[in-house]
Amino acid sequence: MGKLSRPDIFEAVFWLLIAVIFFAVSFSFNQPIEIYKFGATGWPRVILFLMALVSLGNLYYAYSKGSKAQEGRVGAKENEEPIKYTSAGQYFKTGMVLILPLVYALSLKPVGFYSGTPIFIALIMIAWGERRVRFILTNTILIYAILIGLFMIVLNAPLPQGNMSPFYDISAFMLKTKTQFDQMF
Amino acid sequence: MIENFLAGTATLFGDPFTIGIFVFGVLGGMLFGAIPGVSMLTLAAILLPFTADLSPAQGVMLFAVIYCTGTYGGAITAILFNIPGAPENAPTAFDGYPMTQKGMAGKAVGAAVLCSAIGGVASALVMMSATEPLAKWAIMNIGPPEIFALVFFGLAVASSVGGRTIWKGWLSVLLGLLIATIGQDPVGGINRFNFGYSDLAAGIAFVPAILGFFAVSEIFIQAEKNVSGKYTAPKFNVDFPSFFELWAHKIAVVRSIFVGFFCGILPGIGATLAAFMGYGEAVRWSKDKSEFGTGKLEGVISSETANNAATGAAMIPLLALGLPGGALTAMMVAVFQMHDLEPGPLVFYNSPDLIWVVFAAMFYANLSILFVGLIETKTILYLLKIPFQFLAPMILMLASIGAYISRGLVLDVIVMFLAGIIGFLLRRSGYSIPGIVLGLILGKIGEQNFAQGMQMVHYDLGTYFSRPICTILIIAGVLTLLKSLHSAFYQKPKVQ
């Protein structure tokens, strides 16, 4: 195994899988273009070939020299050692930090911005270790108020309203209130 | 030149709204550069969709100002927290942070303020005198084959920045290039890699991808530290360096201006290489090399002068050839594109007002660093007291809105968070986020120009190589790749 570690093998598999999957998908648009000899697949397939090749080089480097940074690399953050996880709880917390925003993004279509945002703000604070109820409530309201004030009232930005009851109704109520507010001035 | 500069100044300061944007850019760049966990790139990425409502000159000017002041702002976090605001501030942390630990943070920050201003102003002056002649020459000599060759060279050089090894640098660039192929191909308009989603036919939008890779992944990294209890607040004191302390390093300043300007001209490399080379040269010419890394003022001075000297130089390939020199200049390309403009030689003839407003703004922004920076450094202390639990959701929400507003698609918010997760995992594994973003930005330009170039030369590579600039750039790119390959096989890993 040389100096190979499990993450090195995982990385190699990851890059090779990307190359293989995308190469397979490239057959779905493998049509000739009359004015261009290399067609729509030429450029991406060269990239995929190089990706596979370089991932093998990366694996060989890890095999022969380990995972440490190469000397003289410009811009590589030498001092930034990845945080080592010692318990399942840490994995769970970081997992929540990563997944929660994605869940929020996926919920934007049905739930909308106006209803989903305060819940997300509070949840993300909890996921990031905040436990003071008053802090969470106060700051959720503050952030929500800043966002609504800036984007809904000042910039009049169109934000997702949701398409599911009662979230859509809440959005409609807020927008109606905003219109009435505008008419006052 | 002076007349144009004065005209640009008049336009800049003749309209209260434009002045407001300039002041916002100056303060915003410094502020976001100086808040740990976010950077000028975060601010720029959040602001990107909103520039659609500005005039092209205001939009590009705002980004140019953020670029100048943010490059300096990133030094504050590098010095105080050992968290470089951007890769170009990384060498500043080598000596800046040890100075903070010794209770000399004020001296380091003061030196960064002065040297950033000097480097930036010198660079802006050279940029104003050199960009237009270069643009005129480019119109006569640069075609699709040359643009492709330049993209190739830029990507070859860019792959050497940021990643832990050259292999990871290359993989980062290739990932960016692959993402850029999603959507319609630039010649036949055939849909590629859309996986059945019609929204992907237009490709991955720059805004959510850039927001995800830079802003969201940075927030995730800080959150991981927070969750693991590794986030520590720094100590701070304000005690600026004396005139004589700074005067003693005048040679280092002049040397770093030259190094910075030279590196800044190279597309795809910009200020990062400048800062590292500026620092490296300071070490090389020093009588006592062992002092570097332990809190030597010259280390901060060299790095900060060089990275700001690169800001003006980085505008030359952007404006004259349409090639970004770094992540933020890559976003400027997006600003141009949002207004149906293409940066390149013709922009000097089609939009001269825009160019000179930008030049004037960059000059004054660098001057502002000197005056506003010293005041801001003391004020920033209070802003740094904002709890991370408050700051992070706020940034995530701003990023979500920014991603959504650009096209009104929830898909863009999903793409942004996916890019954030991918960026977080890749950064942990030592890959280069600037490399991915540059690949993403340059990918489409490269493919389009390659296709046009091949059609121009009737697929005859001999004709391709009969064009001297094209040949030189391709050879330079190949040599860069070969040199990297040589180092990948024969260089020892760094002992840690």
Q: Which residue of A has its CA nearest to B429?
A: A82
Confidence of residue B354 (pLDDT cuts 50, 70, 90): confident
- Provide the pLDDT confidence category of residue A121 given band limits of 50, 70 and 90: very high
Q: Residue A140: what pLDDT?
A: 93
Chain B residues inside the 8 Å CB shell of A33: 185, 187-188, 190
- A58 with A94, same domain: the answer is no
Q: Residue B495 has what pLDDT? A: 46
Interchain proximity A70–B494, CB inside 8 Å: yes
pLDDT for position A106: 93
Q: Is the pLDDT of residue A78 over 50?
A: no
Same domain? For A28 and A94 the reply is no
Where helices occur in B286-351 by DSSP H, the ranges are 297-316, 327-338, 347-350
Terminal alpha carbon distance of chain A: 73
B420: phi > 0 → left, psi -120 to 50 → alpha, else beta; which? alpha
Same domain (yes/no): A175, A101: yes
Q: Which long-range contacts (CB under 8 A, 24 or more apart) does A171-180 make?
A: A171/A112, A171/A113, A171/A114, A171/A115, A174/A114, A174/A148, A178/A152, A178/A153
Work out the pLDDT band at A103, boundaries 50, 70, 90: very high
How far does A183 lie from chain B, in Å, by closest CA? 24
Chain A residue numbers touching B416 (CB-CB < 8 A): 105
Tell me: pLDDT of B136 over 80: no
> Under an 8 A CB cutoff, do B187 and A36 touch?
yes
Task: State yes or no: pLDDT of B427 exceeds 90.
Answer: no
Contact A90 B459 (CB under 8 A): no
Give a yes or no: residue A77 inside a domain. no
Q: Are A49 and A97 found together in one domain? A: no
State whether A43 and B447 contact (CB < 8 Å).
yes
Contact (Cβ atoms closer than 8 angstroms) between residue B144 and residue B446: no
Place of tokens 């489409």: B444
- Peptide linkage before A82 cis (omega within 30 of 0): no
A162 and A110 part of one domain: yes
In the structure, what pLDDT confidence band is assigned to residue B496 with cuts at 50, 70 and 90? very low
**Span of A121-130, B211-220, B423-432 with lowest mean pLDDT:** B211-220
Pull the structure tokens for residue B63.
């980004």
**What backbone torsions phi and psi does residue B104 show, to the nearest 5 degrees?**
-120, 30
Maximum mean pLDDT: which of A83-97, A131-145, B268-282: A131-145
Exposure string of B274-284, with b = 16+ CB inside 10 Å and e = fewer, is bbbbbbbbbbe
Mean pLDDT, to the nearest integer, of B147-176? 81
Output A183 or B305, whichever has higher pLDDT: B305
pLDDT for B135 equals: 64
Confidence band (pLDDT; 50, 70, 90) for B238? low
More confident of the two residues B22 and B82:
B22
Q: What is the number of domains present in chain A?
A: 2
What are the structure tokens assigned to B307, written together? 């990275």
CB atoms within 10 A of CB B229: 10
Question: So what's the pLDDT on residue B134?
Answer: 67
- Asked if B397's CB is within 8 angstroms of A147's CB, the reply is yes
Q: Are B477 and B149 in contact (CB under 8 A)?
A: yes
Last residue of a domain, one of A34, A65, A96: A65
Residue B196, number of CB atoms within 10 A of its CB:
7
Q: What is the DSSP string of B185-227?
A: -TTT--EES-TT-GGGGG---HHHHHIIIIIIHHHHHHHHHHH
Q: Give a yes or no: residue A78 inside a domain.
A: no
Segment B406-413 shows an average pLDDT of 83
Mutation for B interface: A73, A107, A154, A156, most B CBs within 10 A: A73
> Which residues on chain A are in Cβ contact (under 8 Å) with B459?
37
**Which chain A residue shows the shortest CA-CA distance from B386?**
A139
pLDDT at A133: 92
Q: Which residues of B touch A69 (CB under 8 A)?
A: 164-165, 430, 493-494, 496
Residue A11 lies in a domain: yes
Query: Mean pLDDT throughout B183-202?
Result: 85
Q: In terms of domains, do A99 and A155 share one? A: yes
Instruction: For residue B156, name the pLDDT band (cuts at 50, 70, 90).
Output: confident
* A93 and A57 in a common domain: no
Q: What would the mean pLDDT of B245-263 be, rounded to a whole number?
A: 83
B192 and A106: CB-CB below 8 Å? no
Q: Is the Cβ pair B226, A128 closer than 8 Å?
A: yes
Which of B168, B177, B225 is nearest residue A58 as measured by Cβ atoms? B168
Residue pairs between chains A and B whose CB atoms are closer than 8 Å: 229
Give the containing element (helix H, strand E) for B177: helix B166-180
Indicate yes or no: CB of A74 within 8 angstroms of CB of B389.
Answer: no
pLDDT at A79: 44
Question: Looking at this protein, which amino acid is placed at residue B350?
Answer: N
The domain in which residue A103 lies consists of: 88-184
Whether residues A109 and A178 fall in one domain: yes
Cα separation values, A99 from B57, B227, B414, Å = 39, 14, 11
**Measured between alpha carbons, how far is B339 from B193 in angstroms, rounded to an integer?**
27
Contact yes or no for A106 and B414 at CB 8 A: yes
Measure the CA–CA gap between A72 and A95, rounded to whole angstroms: 34
Do residues A141 and A178 share a domain? yes
Contacts of residue A94, Cβ cutoff 8 Å, sequence gap at least 6: A85, B223, B224, B227, B228
Q: Are B457 and B251 in contact (CB under 8 A)?
A: no
Whole-number Å distance between alpha carbons of B92 and B75: 6
Secondary structure letter of residue B184 according to DSSP = E
Residue B139: the pLDDT is: 65
- The three-state DSSP-derived secondary structure of chain A is CCCCCHHHHHHHHHHHHHHHHHHHHHHHHCCCECCECCCCCHHHHHHHHHHHHHHHHHHHHHHHHCCCCECCCECCCCCCCCCCCCCHHHHHHHHHHHHHHHHHHHHHHHHCHHHHHHHHHHHHHHHCCCCCHHHHHHHHHHHHHHHHHHHHHHCCCCCCCCCCCCHHHHHHHHHHHHHHHHHHC
Structure tokens at B299: 């280390």
pLDDT digits (tens, 9 = 90+) for A25-48: 999 988 888 888 888 999 999 999
Grade residue A23 by pLDDT with cuts at 50, 70 and 90: very high
With 60 as the cut, is the pLDDT of residue B99 above it?
A: yes
Is residue B217 pLDDT above 60, yes or no?
A: yes
> What is the residue type of B396?
L
The residue-averaged pLDDT of B342-367 equals 81
Which pLDDT score is estimated for B353?
A: 80
Contacts of A111 in chain B (CB under 8 A): none
Chain mean pLDDT for chain B? 79
Across the interface, whether the CB atoms of B493 and A129 are under 8 A apart is answered no
Provide, as residue numbers in chain B, all residues whose Cβ is less than 8 Å from the Cβ of A109.
410
CA distance B273 to B91: 10
Residue bearing the bigger pLDDT, A9 or B445: A9
- pLDDT one-digit tens code per residue, A45-60: 999 999 999 999 999 8
Query: Which residues in chain A are contacts of B216 at CB distance < 8 A?
Result: 101
Compare CB distances from B397 to A22, A109, A121 and report the shortest one's residue.
A121
Residue B13 C-alpha from the chain's centroid: 26
Position A134 scores a pLDDT of 92
Cβ contact B220–A97 (<8 Å): yes
**Distance between terminal CA atoms of chain B?**
51
A1 assigned to some structural domain: no
Residue A51 inside a domain? The answer is yes
**Mean pLDDT, residues A71-84:** 58
**Structural domain includes residue A75:** no
* Residue B361, token pair as written in the block: 């703004």
Residue B279's closest CA among B261, B265, B293? B293
Mapped onto helix, strand or coil, the DSSP state of residue B384 is coil
Q: Are A75 and B192 in contact (CB < 8 Å)? A: no
**Do A129 and A174 fall into the same domain?**
yes
Higher pLDDT, residue B97 or B453 = B453
- Structure confidence at residue A162 as a pLDDT band (50, 70, 90): confident
Q: Are A101 and A153 contacting, i.e. CB atoms less than 8 angstroms apart?
A: no
- Can you give the pLDDT at residue A19? 95
Question: Are B152 and B267 a contacting pair, CB within 8 Å?
Answer: no
Q: Which residues of chain A lie closer than 8 angstroms to B390, CB-CB?
A: 139, 142-143
- A96 with A135, same domain: the answer is yes
Structural domain contains residue A179 = yes
**Residue recorded with tokens 């280092």:** B252
* Predicted pLDDT at A70: 73
Residues A105 and A170 in one domain: yes
User: A80 lies in a domain?
Assistant: no
**Segment A69-76 mean pLDDT:** 60
